[in-house]
Structure 1
Amino acid sequence: MGENMLLVLTIGGVLFGCFFGFLGRLANFSDGTIMLVSFPGEILMRLLKMFILPLIISSLIAGMAQLDARSSGRMGMRALVYYLTTTILAAIVGIIMVLLIHPGNPLIKTHVESKPDDTKVSTLDAILDIIRNMFPDNLVQACFQQVSTTYKKVKPLVITSSNHSDDKPVDEYILKPQLVYKDGTNVMGMIVFCLAFGLLAGQMGEKGKLMVQFFVVLNDIIMKLVGVVMWYSPFGIMCLIAGKIMGIANLASTAQQLGMYMVTVIVGLMIHAIITLPTIYFVITRKNPAVFFRGMLQAWVTALGTASSAATLPITFQCLEENNKIDQRVTRFVVAVGATVNMDGTALYEAVAAIFIAQMNGIHLGLGDVITVSLTATLASIGAASIPSAALITMLLVLTALGLPTSDVSLLFAVDWLLDRIRTSINVLGDGYGAGIVYHMSKDELDKMDAERIIEINESKHAQEVVMDENFCKQRPNPSSCSETQL
């Protein structure tokens, strides 16, 4: 009853947030008033983000410690195949929808102003940054910063003599790459470290048992805290959505100019959520995907309100483990990694947006360009951090690969507040279905591990009882009176 009540309240929070947001637009509130309306929602986001780092660390280490290297390897391979398959399918769905609907119109640029953007991006730099962040040089720094490649304008020198005394800088600038640290948790690096730490801790046997138990208890405590915060989430989500809607400028004109683009993205996301993901789940597990979605509904609505798959992570864990009865060893691995690398909604969004910008500029894309869009959208979605509006940043990769103007990304800012929420909810849904599929494929192995562990525990208890009996007999005045079984 409590779970159903919380779900109803959360859905009500979304609906009332939309209602009060549009109602508040009529009153034309000041920026200060809108900030106060959004303040309870800001507190919710802070609470959820506060749990991200300790939850990832404790859940991954506790989960990996209970798996052997072979089982975790198989589970990881299954999850990776699922991630790549669904992400590529999402990009393909987006490409089909944008080619069929053709929302791009050159007249849009005459009504909606684009801002110049000289940001240089490179696919190679993005790949190298992902690998760099997987291996942080400072774990403490990785908790709040991640490395990124940026380009700095410098004036090259013209060498006029051998002693360099007459060297002069030229008027033109060149872009020189440099590594900088930007704010934001390096989730990828923390995941890699925790996976290795957990596997090795589990292989240490009795010596590592105390350490493993510490992280298990830590994870349980955090999940209990999450359960308390969830009762505040309906009110926080309502305030988040209301404040966002009230703060949008020129809502009617924006919807009129970019309406077909929004419809294309939303229809594509709905097809992926209602057809693609449930079909894959049903074909592999032979179970009803509607029942599984019902268990994920709380996490889906929360993602819709917060627009952050990382902030929704604690609630996703709770929905999968308590409602859908997925083994903790699976959720702690698949969902924690999936929240960083499995971005189906983001891949679909970036594919649609790239072709939309091409259509808007009157550029025809051939088959090779379409294939490039699907591959780069998949890559860019993997590189997208699980934070709000990260897709707009990684969108530059896709546009650069196609040679399209990156300045047109600014056209999409006006509607990203809505599309970001919808695609994030699809990302969370994809992680959930992935956990269900991997659990179904790994269930026999996990049951076998549980049986072997029970046998080991029983043998250990029996050995301890034998030792205790021997010690007891040796302390008796007449040890020869002990039976042979006791000795």
Structure 2
Amino acid sequence: MSGPPPQPHAGPAQGSELSRPEHGDASLLSLWSRIPLYIRILAGLLLGIVVGVVLGPHAHILEVPSKLVLRLLGALAPPLILLAVVQVLMRAELPKGAAFRLLSLLLLNTCVAILIGLLVANILQPGRWIPVKLEEPAKETAVVNPLSLFLDNIPKSVLGPFGDEGKVISVIMIAVAFGIALRSRKDRSIATVSDLVDTALETLLTLLHWIIEIIPLAVFGIVASLIGVRGFHAFVPLGGFIVAVLLALVLQVVYYLVRIRFGSWVDPFKVLHDMRDALVMAFSTASSTVTMPVTYSALRERVGLRERSASLGALVGANFNNDGTALYEAMSALFISQLVGQHLTLGQQFMVVLTSIVASVGAAGIPEAGIVTMTLVFKAVGLPTEYILTLLTVDWFLDRCRTAVNVMGDVNVSCLLDGHTPESAEVPAAALSVSAPEPPPP
């Protein structure tokens, strides 16, 4: 019983010594993950400012993490959009009569959002307030031939768009084709294909989550590098960018309210009051997916919409609706082009519109969708993608604002689908027609 103490005690002691670092690493990772992303990004921003001031031009080496993150995001974006679109098209239950109206409303809202964003960015031009001097002169943009632009986005092969070019329009074309084809085969057993799509999408979302975890480090690196090499003037225009984006989002909400006023029976100001919980939750969580049940419940119980209208707009439509994100991406592209002195022609701005539309449709169900798809929008018009991480220093706030606008877009679509007559008005009319006495025979 009283054997030599060193022998039995030595093994566990060594084991515990070896296990402590693993447990400590796990605890640190758990603590890191529990901190909200926007707080981590703000911490990276502040630390990057300090390190950039201290190191000066020597801080340029710290931009390596930012380039790594951008490469990884660019690699994940095409397959993510492909699988997200295929999954939605396979699973979405769209009544034949309402499908065309729903999709037309979603497309119209997205187009208006992008045009509002481009209009505000072209008028205010926040990127020209304090332009950044590039180490290399900006390349002159070539005149875009519409026919060449169209043909250039037709995929030459199924796997071609998933290479380094990252042409999002080609990816969406392939995704829609596969999604519709698989949807047409619903009479056959496609459970295996559906499970494969689900598993692949979940796997890519897990990888995306890992990349998002290191985004604060990338923000730290790009901020330290910019502050050290170029000073604070590179960040001054972001104040004007915030004002421009908020103004554009407000104009988009005004458009929604006007459409509700003249296109449905619902009072637009009552809608704002009744949907306050959903809008506040969208702003707080920065997730329209998490807010979806609250949105649907408020549309049914407070606003009083029909079940079909509420479900189509808030549940089905939410998988395609990303108006706020599309507006933000278009404004970001124009802002960065102004910031670096790279003029975008009308043809390239049209390309921004087209790419933002298809990217917003493809990424509606992807977390941090704006970060993922913005790399594709920038590549489509030849903008430097490293400035995306500069925008992330204010994105934590703007993301919440545009998520609330996304939810307001779902509300807008639901109200328009409900028509000019409330559901409650149909019951008395039906009862009156049933209870009305038959006229006496002549």
Please give the range of the TM-score, normalised by the shorter of the 2 chains. Answer: 0.5 to 0.7
User: 2:80 aligns to what?
Assistant: 52
- Partners of 2:134 and 2:177 in 1: how far apart? 49
Identical columns (%): 11
Q: Report the CA distance shift for 1:36/1:77 in structure 2 as closer, same or farther (over 3 A).
A: closer
Residues 1:130 and 1:8: Cα distance change in structure 2 (over 3 Å) = farther
Matched, 1:329 2:316: yes
Structure 1's 239 and 47: CA in aligned 2 closer, same or farther, altered over 3 A? farther
Q: Structure 2 matches for 1:62-461, cutoff 5 A? A: 62-63=90-91, 66-67=93-94, 70-98=97-125, 104=129, 112=133, 115-117=136-138, 119-125=140-146, 128-130=148-150, 132-133=152-153, 135-142=154-161, 144-145=162-163, 183-207=164-188, 210-211=189-190, 213-214=191-192, 216-218=194-196, 220-221=198-199, 235-250=213-228, 253=231, 255=233, 259=236, 261-273=237-249, 275-282=250-257, 284=260, 286-287=271-272, 291-297=277-283, 300=286, 318-319=289-290, 321=292, 324=295, 329-335=316-322, 343-349=326-332, 377=349, 379-383=351-355, 386-388=373-375, 390-391=377-378, 394=381, 417-419=389-391, 425=399, 433-442=408-417
2:100 is matched by which residue type in structure 1? G
**Partners of 2:51 and 2:224 within 8 A in 1:** yes
Matched, 1:13 2:33: no
Runs of 5+ in structure 1 lacking a partner? 146-182, 301-315, 362-371, 397-409, 445-487
Instruction: Give the residue type in structure 2 aligned to 1:72.
Output: A
Distance 1:269 1:235 in 2: 26
Q: Which amino acid in structure 1 is aligned with residue 160 of structure 2?
A: Q
Structure 2 unpaired stretches of 5+: 1-31, 261-267, 297-312, 360-372, 420-442
Secondary structure at 2:136 match in 1: coil
**Given that residues 37 and 239 in structure 1 are in contact (C-alpha distance below 8 angstroms), is that contact kept between their aligned partners in structure 2?**
yes
The residue identity in structure 2 corresponding to 1:78 is L
Q: TM-score, normalised by structure 2?
A: 0.58
How far residue 241 of structure 1 moved from its aligned partner, in angstroms, is: 1.4
Does the C-alpha gap of structure 1 residues 378 and 243 become closer, same or farther in structure 2, counting only changes over 3 Å? same
- CA-to-aligned-CA distance 1:55-92 (integer Å, 9 cap, x gap): 3243233245x335554332221122112211222222
Distance across 2 between alignment mates of 1:392 and 1:72: 32
Q: How far, CA to CA, are the matches of 1:280 and 1:428 in structure 2?
A: 16
Q: CA deviation at 1:269?
A: 0.9
Q: CA deviation at 1:52?
A: 0.9
Residue type of the partner of 2:331? Answer: L
Q: Secondary structure at the match of 1:121?
A: coil
Deviations 1:16-69 (A, max 9, x none): 2222222332452966973686699679848964861453243233245x3355
Alpha-carbon distance between aligned partners in 1 of 2:116 and 2:52, rounded to the nearest angstrom: 39
- Distance change >3 Å, CA 131–CA 215, structure 1 → 2: farther
User: What secondary structure does 1:343 align onto?
Assistant: helix
Q: CA RMSD in A?
A: 5.0
- Residues 315-347 of structure 1 show CA distances to partners (whole Å, capped at 9, x for unaligned) of x67446566557553233445xx79xx731243
Alpha carbons of structure 1 residues 346 and 329: separation in structure 2 relative to 1, 3 Å: closer
Q: Which has the higher contact order (CA 8 A, sep 6+)?
A: 2
| Bigger strand fraction | 1
Q: Structure 1 residue 247: deviation in Å?
A: 2.0
Q: Deviations over 1:98-137 (max 9, x none)?
A: 4xx89558xx79xx46734554522325x6434542x423
Query: Residues of 1 paired with 2:69 and 2:340: CA distance?
Result: 33
Check whether the contact 1:39–1:239 (CA below 8 A) recurs between aligned residues: no
Q: Would the alpha carbon gap of residues 77 and 55 (structure 1) be closer, same or farther in structure 2, given more than 3 Å must change?
A: same
Structure 1 length-normalised TM: 0.53
Which of 1 and 2 has greater Rg?
1
What is the aligned residue count? 342
Contact 1:59 1:215 in 2 (8 A): no
Q: Which amino acid aligns with 1:332?
A: N
Aligned to 2:423: none
